[in-house]
Chains A and B, each alone.
Chain A
Amino acid sequence: MIRRKAAAAAVLALSAALMASCWDKIELNELTLVSMAGLDRDPESGIYTIWLQVINPASGASAKGTPGGEQSPVYTYEASGSSLAEAHLKFYHLIPRKTFIHHAKAVLISERAARQGMKDFMNFSELQPDARTSIPLLVVEGSIDEVMRTFTPLERTPSESLASRLELLNEYALRSARRIELRDVIERSERDEWIVLPIAAATPKTGNFNSWDSDASIDANRNQLRINGGAVIRNYRMVGRLGEDDLVLYHLLDGERGRFVRRIPFRDGHVTASLESRGAKRRLAWENGRPVVRIRLRLNLSTLAMKEFHPQTLEDIRELESAVNQALAGELAAFADRTRAKGWDLLRIGSLLRRKAPKLANPGQAAADAKIRIEVKTRLTGMGNLSRLYEGTGGTP
């Protein structure tokens, strides 16, 4: 019995050798948390440049006035090399800690690198066991170096600010999407589908912009980052841009859910409709051997933003709903035609055909020939705080 107990104790004691602390221990003090990464490749020399924006552990909101309180909340390091791995190693010339990239919140890539193609970056990122590809990817317009060295007001780190804005833009403006992560770029590119990524840029600078001082300025439109427009990506390569209005239409057709506002022609003038997308369903049908894609969108309408008109009768409601249906279907069809004329398959019809009709001989040609029918179904479900509008004569309706 004693021998058995001794053996059990020995087994338990020796199992400690398996614990992470023996070989793979990681002290928090020996790590640096990367909050944002920037990527660039010079098309002429082929030199890769990586920026890492890391969190300064000594800074904090409560630390103002104490030692470290005036320090920058993040530090940006830059390294280049003829391959991504070499550039990454060069950080140890600059950073005294092991980089921990699992908690990064955003990855930025310069427009020129995106236009050359991002496959190298994606492969490198997926090869690393400690990296995640479930992080939003943004294309940077203008100098990525400047963007990586720009603070953002309110949030402690620029990456948090960007990630939060992307969420808000998706939920309240439909100008961003949920599927904008590195893994989505990989998946869609591998399936030969198109994807649109958000574009970030630095806003005009004043004062000593390379320091925290600019934070003392009241004008928050300057000296910070701005998300603006969408980069159209196909096969890991940026091929064009979408404007803000088109971005909403694209996200609607792509089935994103979120709210947005649109001016709709109604009776003799316009009304401002506050709309919420409830997703899009796509059906494939055939007419005389030609594919027909029916895209059916469901929208919720609210009078929240409608300062011009307030429906009172059932007829008003139906009329309003059909006005929204018609106007949006028209805009969406125009958008679809416009982008398809450029050869962009933003509606992912080629992929729909490959999935639903895998025996098709030439899916690319069939996708180009496909007819698209867009149906919008709107239902008035929400109301603002008024049940009747004020009717004075001052001001435009």
Chain B
Amino acid sequence: MISRGQYYLLTVNYTLGTTLFVTINAMIGEAGPDAWMMPLWAGITGMLAALIWIALLRSAPGRSPVEIARDAWGPAAGAVVGILYLAVFCVTAAWALRNLSDFMNMTIMPRTPPSMFHIMFLFVAGYAVAQGSETVGRLNAVATPFLAGPFWISLALATADWDWERLEPAFRDPWAIFRFPSHLGFPFLEAFAMTMLWPKVRSGAAGALVLGIASAALSISLVVFMVTGLLGPERAARINYPIYTVVQEVEFGKALVNIHSVLTVILITLIFVKLLVLLYAACETISQLFRTSSRWPHLLALGILISAGAVSIYENPIQNRILNNRYTFIYDGFYAVLIPALLLATVRLRRALAGRSRRR
């Protein structure tokens, strides 16, 4: 059992995960100085989707979406949905890992083979997942203060270069997000993986999940706001990793000039948390689908699958961006909105029918 607080922190860190790497410059490129509003709207969409998940999960206490699908649609269709979710979790994990190795190779460790990052992160995450949900929750709760503190401190140190002119003209394009629906999908709909942890959380996790998504949306919005005010929309839209550049340009007196390595550690730990949740979700899906008893063999198989996926998911970051812009909304919407909504409808319908027949 993990506590509501741990679940909340997991949701926040999971959602922040790769977002801080990949979408900041895209958002600023699309909406200019008003980009900080995009994560807020996307967060509201994510919270609405979370309400569907919560309604679904509440209809069958103690059951995960995979089990609910089997209960509602029968063993065959349930297994199809389960395998679909397994694939989603594996692909998302591979994607996150690849984003991580791209970042590391491009910034401070250009010569380390990308697979090394993938395999080692999977190895450590696999060990944590094998220990169970308590380890996952506790690990993240312990790590969070060490991530949030230095992250905001290093961004705050950068505010010496702040210029309000960079955020003008303000409020010109508040609805830009609807021209770029991919941001409605990533990252907030991906938080669907958090529902696999739901049965392990003490009661009342709904607030933690919704609040977690809201906090993540606010954090991303604040980061985008600060990056715009610190780099200006022109540079922030073009630089690959604007947060990294912001911190790279911090000169705190004459001694502290290399604090970007601190930021790197924070960002890769956030991705690790995302990987941890996804690996846990994938592992849990396998054991619920096939009712297995041991964990290690599946983790090994998942590790091989995900590390292979990570090197082959796309060829270069440009493809990643195209993939993201074109397909994430449809992709995320399919598994995180459409299927849960259909499941919810089936569950409600069955209950209504059962209630009516009983009354007769």
Q: Determine whether the beta carbon of A354 is less than 8 Å from that of B123.
A: no
Flag if A355 contacts B165 (CB, 8 Å). Answer: yes
A2 in contact (CB, < 8 A): no
Contacting residues, chain B, for A20 (C-beta < 8 A): 108-109, 112
- A190-B235, A358-B169 known; A24 vs B108 contact (CB < 8 Å): yes
- The stretch from A9-17, A83-91, A266-274, A388-396 touching chain B is A9-17
A257 to chain B, nearest CB (A): 13
A-B CB pair tally, cutoff 8 Å: 68
Chain A residues contacting B111 (CB-CB under 8 Å) are: 23-24
A134 — which chain B residues lie within 8 A by C-beta?
248-249, 251
With beta carbons under 8 angstroms apart, the residue of B117, B168, B239 that contacts A126 is B239
Inter-subunit contact A187/B169 (CB<8 Å): no
Contacts of A263 in B (CB 8 A): none
Q: Does A22 reach chain B (CB closer than 8 Å)?
A: yes
CA distance A23 to B120 in the complex (A): 14
Cβ-based interface call for A148 (8 A): no
Which residues of chain A are within 8 angstroms of B232 by Cβ–Cβ distance? 187, 190-191
**Do A18 and B235 have beta carbons less than 8 Å apart?**
no
- Residues in A with CB closer than 8 Å to B238 are 126
When the two chains form their complex, are residues A191 and B234 in contact, meaning their CB atoms are under 8 A apart? Answer: yes
Q: A24-B111, A129-B110 are in contact. Are A11 and B123 (CB under 8 A)?
A: yes
Contact assessment for A18 and B120 in the assembled complex, using a CB-CB cutoff below 8 Å = yes
B60 at the interface (CB under 8 A from A): no
- A24's nearest neighbour on chain B, judged by CB, is B109
CA distance in complex: A327, B111 (Å): 61
Q: Mark B104-140, 1 if CB is under 8 A from A, else 0.
A: 0011111111001100100110010000000000000
How many of A's residues come within 8 Å of B, CB to CB? 28
Within the assembled complex, what's the spacing in Å between the Cα atoms of A174 and B32? 33
| Complex: A15 Cα to B112 Cα, angstroms | 13
Does A356 reach chain B (CB closer than 8 Å)? yes
B172, closest chain A residue (CB) = A358
Are A187 and B112 neighbours in the complex by a CB distance under 8 Å? no
What is the CB-to-nearest-CB distance from A229 to chain B, in angstroms, rounded to a whole number?
A: 26
Task: Say yes or no: B235 contacts A17, CB within 8 Å.
Answer: no
Q: A126 contacts which chain B residues (CB < 8 A)? A: 235, 238-239
Interface presence of A7 (CB below 8 A): yes
Subset of 23 A-B contacts with CB under 8 Å: A11-B123, A11-B127, A14-B120, A14-B123, A18-B112, A18-B117, A18-B120, A23-B116, A24-B111, A24-B112, A129-B107, A129-B110, A132-B248, A134-B249, A183-B235, A186-B234, A186-B235, A187-B234, A187-B235, A190-B232, A191-B232, A191-B234, A355-B168
Please name the 5 residue pairs, one residue from A and one from B, whose CB atoms are nearest each other, closest first.
A190-B234, A355-B168, A23-B112, A134-B249, A358-B169
